[in-house]
Amino acid sequence: MTSPSSGDREKVVSKLPTALQQDLKVRTAQHGVDIQHAVEAGITAWRGLGANLSPIETSGAKSFSTWLPPGQWEEFRRDCTARGVSLVQGLSQSVQVWLDRNPAPGIQRPAVVKRFIVCNQKGGVGKTAVTAGTGEALAEDAGRLHPVRVSKYLATARAGIEGGPALAPEDDPLEFEDLPGLGLRVLLVDFDPQCHLTKQLGHDPLPLEGDSLTKHMAGEGKAELSELIVTVADDRFGDRLHLLPACTDAFLLDVKLSGVRAREAALERALAPLEDEYDAILVDCPPSLGLSMDAAAYYGRRRPNEPSGNSGVLVVVQAEDSSADAYGLLTSQIEDLRSDMALELDYLGIVVNHYDARRGYIATSSLQNWMEIKDPRVVGLIGDLKEQKEAVRVKQPLLAYAPRSAQAVALRALAREIS
């Protein structure tokens, strides 16, 4: 059935098996192609075949509509009649032809493992939630579609803080686009002795008497560090999202590092044997400016032949004054490291977390101050909403617990911004 034209195309309504509809939706998103153009190309290719294809199971086919060039559908109907196949069968075969000729693209893996150092000297700003959510977004299945959008807060924050209406956290974000996951192999490193990342993802901290990242950094490792890694299990991550749990012995890390040779490189020496297994490693740092932060920053430095922005420091803040004070202390330490050790250490950006414009002038004016910083710039604005707190309570990854929540889609946008 056809309907009146839209521009130079006419609407076509038919049926298509649900599985084929889903495959078509995912594959066109993977290639950045409109569904209508894929169906058009598939029909053209099917009509050019010299023989019929094997029949496709079409029982239970669901309604499907698209837009095709004027006249193509009627010509296609005649071809189906001539070949002795139903319209639904012919359309299904045409879509399958396009899918076969346009296989899913491979995952774009970085030449040098990405190393994201998530930090701030101030505690309670949400570093752990941002580390976990960003890692989850990087690891989501590339064969499925996930809602992605820049938060309405980030897209319209400048207008709002310059006199426009305040944005409440429950406001609907901008229209989002369903996109394939990034499909990267990700390691989350809990570098904080408080073990928040480990606990939030449903795992137990490593026992004090056993092996740990701290012991490996101090040269006291008992076995391979890889033996400590656990999987963050959920279908959307496959076996791509892993966690290196923390141990409370990390409270002693600065003391142990004080006697270690080339202590700034201690984290790199520990994690380097793991890097070939991952595309991205995210380090959830403690709220500290000690030797452990030096080691984390050194690990995030730009290596020889590594492109700018592939690795670096991601600073998590809140829209309030104490975050600004802590940010100043952190950036001073980073600048000292850059200068003293001649490091090429990139800022990946600032993430303003737990934002709620209903808190009034302090929140909106603080956000304006963050937005006015150009280097590093704000790359994410995450609302202070209940879903993250609920996910922590039930010890599930946010993107598995509430995959379509505003926080989840903002974290996906952040992951794409820095990856």
What is the tens place of the pLDDT at every residue in 234-267? 999 999 999 999 999 888 888 888 888 889 999 9
Q: pLDDT at residue 28 above 50?
A: yes
Contact 387, 161 (CB under 8 A): no
Give the pLDDT of residue 111: 93
Mean pLDDT along residues 212-233: 94
Listed residues 101, 132, 154: the one ending a domain = 101
The reply to whether 403 falls in a domain is yes
Please tell me whether residues 131 and 246 are part of one structural domain: yes
Give the pLDDT of residue 157: 53
Q: How far is residue 264's CA from residue 253's CA, in Å, rounded to a whole number?
A: 12
**What is the DSSP track for 178-244?**
EEE-----EEEEE--TT-HHHHHTT-PPBPTTS--HHHHHTT---S-GGGG-EE--BTTTBT-EEEE
Please tell me whether residues 87 and 128 are part of one structural domain: no
Mean pLDDT along residues 11-32: 95
Contact 345, 308 (CB under 8 A): no
Structure tokens at 276: 């070939």
Beta strand residue intervals within 73-157, DSSP E: 114-119, 145-148
Higher pLDDT pick, 154 / 227: 227
pLDDT tens string 31-41: 999 999 999 99
Q: How confident is the model at residue 338 (pLDDT cuts 50, 70, 90)?
A: confident
Please tell me whether residues 321 and 215 are part of one structural domain: yes
Give the pLDDT of residue 150: 52
Please tell me whether residues 392 and 292 are part of one structural domain: yes
Q: pLDDT at residue 203 above 80?
A: yes
Q: pLDDT at residue 153 above 60?
A: no
CA 318 to chain centre: 21
CA-to-CA separations, 187 to 9, 75, 135, 167, 412, in angstroms, rounded: 47, 53, 8, 34, 17
Give the pLDDT of residue 202: 94
Give the pLDDT of residue 403: 95
For a pLDDT cut of 90, what percent of the chain falls above it? 66
Please tell me whether residues 148 and 56 are part of one structural domain: no
Please tell me whether residues 68 and 183 are part of one structural domain: no
Q: What is the mean pLDDT of the chain?
A: 88
Please tell me whether residues 64 and 137 are part of one structural domain: no
Q: How confident is the model at residue 51 (pLDDT cuts 50, 70, 90)?
A: confident
Q: How far is residue 181's CA from residue 184's CA, in Å, rounded to a whole number?
A: 9
Q: How confident is the model at residue 325 (pLDDT cuts 50, 70, 90)?
A: confident
The reply to whether 106 falls in a domain is no
Please tell me whether residues 224 and 137 are part of one structural domain: yes
pLDDT tens string 374-404: 888 989 989 888 999 999 999 999 999 999 9
Give the pLDDT of residue 154: 54
**CATH number of the domain encompassing residue 193:** 3.40.50.300
pTM reported for the whole predicted model: 0.87
- Cβ neighbours of 374 (radius 10 Å): 7
Number of domains the chain is built from: 2
Give the pLDDT of residue 383: 86
The reply to whether 251 falls in a domain is yes
Q: pLDDT at residue 159 above 80?
A: no
Please tell me whether residues 199 and 50 are part of one structural domain: no
- Least confident among 63-67, 304-308, 319-323: 319-323
Angle subtended at Cα 290 by Cα 284 and Cα 291, rounded to the nearest 5 degrees: 85
Amino acid at 212: S
Range of the domain at 178: 114-418
Listed residues 101, 128, 143: the one ending a domain = 101
Please tell me whether residues 161 and 308 are part of one structural domain: yes
Short-list 309, 312, 254, 303, CA closest to 282: 312
Give the pLDDT of residue 171: 47
For the chain, give percent helix, strand, coil, nearest 5: 45, 20, 40
Q: pLDDT at residue 110 above 80?
A: yes
- Cβ neighbours of 244 (radius 10 Å): 25
Higher pLDDT pick, 354 / 168: 354
pLDDT tens string 268-306: 999 999 999 999 999 999 887 788 989 999 999 999 999
Q: pLDDT at residue 173 above 50?
A: no
CA dihedral sign, ordered 384, 385, 390, 392: negative
The reply to whether 349 falls in a domain is yes
Q: How confident is the model at residue 15 (pLDDT cuts 50, 70, 90)?
A: very high
Please tell me whether residues 207 and 266 are part of one structural domain: yes
Mean pLDDT along residues 118-133: 89
The reply to whether 107 falls in a domain is no
**Beta bridge partners of residue 280, listed in sequence order:** 114, 186
Q: pLDDT at residue 315 above 90?
A: yes
Please tell me whether residues 250 and 310 are part of one structural domain: yes
Give the pLDDT of residue 319: 79
